[in-house]
Amino acid sequence: MEEYLKEALEIVKAQASVRNMTEEEMSAMILALSRGIRETAREMPGAASQSAAPGVDPARAIREKSILCLECGKSFRVLTKKHLGKHGMTPEEYKAKWGYKKNTSLVARSLTRNRRKRMQEMQLWKKRQAQA
């Protein structure tokens, strides 16, 4: 079933729940609404391409305390493989699509900085050398 018809049916259902309508009124309203919705969608240039375009510049998506998923617009501290899998992508495909370098971390800047600081404080490389 076309999405225009589904949308028209939903509108008519809502209208019928508020007032009494005959079958002829409902069918005429469904036809008129589905045509109107279809024509409106055709007249809107770039309606389909807007969903593929990000709402934010990819260079600004990685922020201090969060990272925006350019696919769905949600904010996270880390863009995980599991989340990107919901969009049918791997991290490598996501980076290629949005123009990130291959070595770009999909993590908020503050979290990256805190992890780096902790690793330097732990100095695991010195502990490994002492064990060997």
How do the domains of the chain map onto residue ranges?
A: 3-50, 58-122
Nearest to 107 by CA among 83, 131, 72: 83
**pLDDT cut 90: percent of the chain above it:** 42
Nearest to 101 by CA among 114, 109, 89, 92: 92
Three-state secondary structure call for residue 124: helix
**Is the pLDDT reported for residue 1 higher than 60?**
no
In this prediction, residue 94 carries a pLDDT of: 93
58-122: in CATH 3.40.50.11400: no
Q: Is 58 exposed, middle or buried (0-12, 13-18, 19+ CB in 10 A)?
A: middle
What is the pLDDT averaged over residues 36-53?
Answer: 63
Cα–Cα dist 62/101, whole Å: 13
In this prediction, residue 109 carries a pLDDT of: 94
Nearest to 61 by CA among 71, 51, 52: 71
- Dihedral, CA of residue 45, residue 47, residue 52 and residue 58, to nearest 10: 70
Least-confidence region, from 22-26, 47-51, 89-93, 114-118: 47-51
Write out pLDDT tens, residues 82-108: 999 999 999 999 999 999 999 999 999
For the chain, what is the mean pLDDT? 85
* Other Cβ atoms within 10 Å of 69 Cβ, number: 20
**Is the pLDDT reported for residue 51 higher than 50?**
no
Question: Does pTM top 0.75 for this prediction?
Answer: no
Label residue 81 by pLDDT band (50, 70, 90): very high
